[in-house]
Structure 1
């Protein structure tokens, strides 16, 4: 069974938001596009708005699906659905992350991204790079 997970692709002024998993979290120390698992009945868009509120304390507007990436971790397979997002508020309140950074698309692959996030970073570079 593959879990569906929404990931936020937040681009502002040519920069992309990535967050680092805090110690004690799954994939601690790895960078990712923030997001989380879809609940039953949720669309990727409604999921990402909820997850960004829970994880970063921000209100957002979800847009189109940019791309998807499937990856099998030791705990199971995920389908990572990258959703373009506009933030309505810019002050982040980190809950499951210990750092957040705005980087250029070309800088993304210089970070230790979670494996499922790498194809999304590559698509961002192709599209916005």
Structure 2
């Protein structure tokens, strides 16, 4: 069974937001598009606005789905749903991350991205790079 997970693709001034998993978290030290697992009966759009509130302390507006990718980690398979998001603030309060960066699309693949996030980065490069 696949677990649906929402990931935020946030564009600002030609750059895209990525966040780094903090020590002690799963995939610690790896970069990702912020987000998390959908709760029961939650839409991907509702999930991403909730996750950004929980993880980064910001309000956001979910837009269209950019792409969906399926990846199997040792612990199970996820369906990662990348959603275009606009933020109402960039004053972040990091909870499960220790760093964030705004990256031009063509530099995304230079980061040590979580495996499931790589196809999303490739799609961003293809569309916006």
The yes-or-no answer on 1:25 pairing with 2:25 is yes
Q: Distance in 2 between matches of 1:89 and 1:31?
A: 21
Q: Distance in 2 between matches of 1:127 and 1:44?
A: 21
Alignment of 1:50-129 (within 5 A): 50-129=50-129
**2:9 alignment partner, SS class:** strand
Cα deviation digits, residues 30-67 of structure 1 (max 9, x gap):
00000000001111000000000000000000000000
Please, what TM-score do these two structures have when normalized by structure 2?
0.99
Corresponding pairs, count: 129
Q: Secondary structure at the match of 1:122?
A: helix
Give the Å deviation of 1:11.
0.4
The CA RMSD measured in Å over matched residues stands at 0.4
CA shift at 1:90, angstroms? 1.2
Cα offset for 1:14?
Answer: 0.3
TM-score with structure 1 setting the length: 0.99
CA distance in 2, matches of 1:74, 1:21: 18
Whole-Å separation in 2 of the counterparts to 1:88 and 1:41? 25
* Distance in 2 separating the partners of 1:117 and 1:90: 22
Tell me, which stretches of 5 or more residues in structure 2 are unaligned?
none
CA distance in 1, matches of 2:123, 2:13: 18
Segments of 4+ moved more than 3 angstroms: none
Question: What runs of 5+ residues in structure 1 fail to find an aligned partner?
Answer: none
